Amino acid sequence: MKDLFTRIRSVLTLCIAFIFLSNLFIKSTLMDDLNLMMMVVVVGLSFWEVRGTTLVIGFMLFALSILLFLFYHAPLNVWQQALQENIYLVVMFTLVPLLGIPIKHGGYFEALQGVFKRYVYNDSRFYLLVSFVSAFVGVLVNLAVVSLVLQISQASTRSSNRKLLSSAIVRGFATCTIWAPTTAAIALIVHLSGASWLLFSPYAILCGVIAGLVGYFMTMYEEKRAGISLDSAVEEPDVEYDGKKVFELSVFSIILITAIAVISLVTGIHTVIVVSLASLIFPFVWMGIIGRLGILIREFRGYFQESVPKLKNEIILFVGAGLFATSINYSHLGNYLSVILSLFVGQNAVLLAIVIIVSILILSALGIHPIIPVTIIGGTVQAAAYGVTPTYVALILAISWAMGISISPSSATVIALSGLTGLSPMNVGPRWNSLYVIIASTLMILILTVFRLIGWL
């Protein structure tokens, strides 16, 4: 029976994605209503299967939203709007895993393993390459990067250092979470803040670079302080690898991100929608060019049987977040948050950044997923009321989310890495990354302040 429900949920999830994208051009209210009904069924079936932290967070989001709607006598159309508020995120999360098929079956996995065998023969190089690959590949495959990079890194003997390995993956993935349009965090934040991703991305990429550098230098310092020689190594291994494939992967990835930005700019279509369309089309172009289109068609079955069923957590979290944001706005409870923030920060942009980031980081360390405070703040804080731009608010929320998931024991990144490495979520999250998060957040706030002072932001 459970397998039947999972299959039904997978079919309906795919139908929601295809109907949503088709209806962008058809604009049929009937198709909207059909998607709404399917979404209700998918959410119900997802709740039937989720466990652990996702169940707790999802239950909180849905329960609080329903109570607020009932208490404030919300009409039916508001409930409908709330359930569909984040449907675009469900669509994106459904289709983005297709981008992982070329990486796994285009010959790139073996090439990356070859790079590890050839160049990773000390801890500093191991951290640098693991974090870079986590950031680079994370743009394409999101959370799946955790298991993918773990498999690739096994080619190096340095992977036995579990603290080094987990820190590199967590911190590397955080750097792409700050800016990448293919991640749910940025899709949600851009939507909530009303910012343009094209204006947001240059500053966000710089913040990602800063976070990456802080992670690298901190890890090197920590390893040296522990008495580990970072550069001690045997003779440089003489291992061949397919450099052409590594270059090919880089080119296709750059083309993808550039195409998303250009199409969004030229057409005016929301970046998240462009990402969803690109996830559906680009793998066929990619695999067709390298002559592996047959493999893509074959792997689509695996995508349906493995990737789509795993989306239950994302469906609960992001549909719940949309429901909660709408209920907060409808009840006007967000006005109280704005009043409290105004009392603390007034029109001071630096204080606004500090208060929001520190608050979200504290809640994250206590086990509250960043999606909850980010949804509340992003849905209620109006940039103009604090004398800042939507881009500035989006950057604050992006930094908060990226740093928050690095220390939150309830974040999917930490939980996935904990399960795969056998380490405690408290070690993988707050214990090993708290200082990193504090230093990186401080530097990113400073750079945002500099940009505001010179009038760029």
pLDDT in tens, the chain (457 residues): 678 899 999 999 999 999 999 998 898 999 999 999 999 999 999 999 888 888 888 999 999 999 999 999 999 999 999 999 889 889 988 998 898 889 888 888 888 888 888 777 778 888 999 999 999 888 887 777 887 888 888 877 778 888 888 999 999 999 999 999 988 899 899 989 999 999 999 999 999 999 999 999 998 887 777 666 555 555 555 566 778 898 999 999 899 989 998 998 888 888 889 999 999 999 999 999 999 999 988 888 889 888 899 888 889 988 999 999 899 989 988 888 888 888 889 889 999 999 999 999 999 998 888 988 999 999 888 899 899 999 999 999 999 999 999 999 888 888 888 877 778 888 888 999 999 999 999 999 999 999 999 988 8
Triad 218, 410, 373: Cα angle to 5° = 90
The pLDDT value given to residue 132? 92
Q: What's the rounded Cα separation, in Å, for the pair 62 and 50?
A: 14
Write down the pLDDT at residue 307.
86
Global pTM? 0.84
Question: Domain map of the chain by residue range?
Answer: 2-97, 98-229+240-453
Q: Give me the helices (H) in 72-196, please.
A: 76-83, 87-95, 100-105, 108-119, 123-141, 145-153, 162-177, 184-193
Q: With contact defined as beta carbons under 8 Å apart, do 112 and 356 qualify?
A: no
Rounded (5°) CA angle 29-33-35: 115
Contact by Cβ (8 Å): 211, 445: no
- The token duo for 163 is 């603290």
Q: Return the number of other C-beta atoms located less than 10 Å from residue 72's C-beta.
A: 13
Helical packing angle, 108-119 and 123-141, nearest 10°:
160
- Which tokens go with 114? 């070859």
DSSP state of 63: H
Which DSSP category does 410 fall into? T
pLDDT at 235: 55
Tokens of 125: 């190089």
Q: Which of 414, 371, 416, 408 is nearest to 167 (CA)?
A: 414
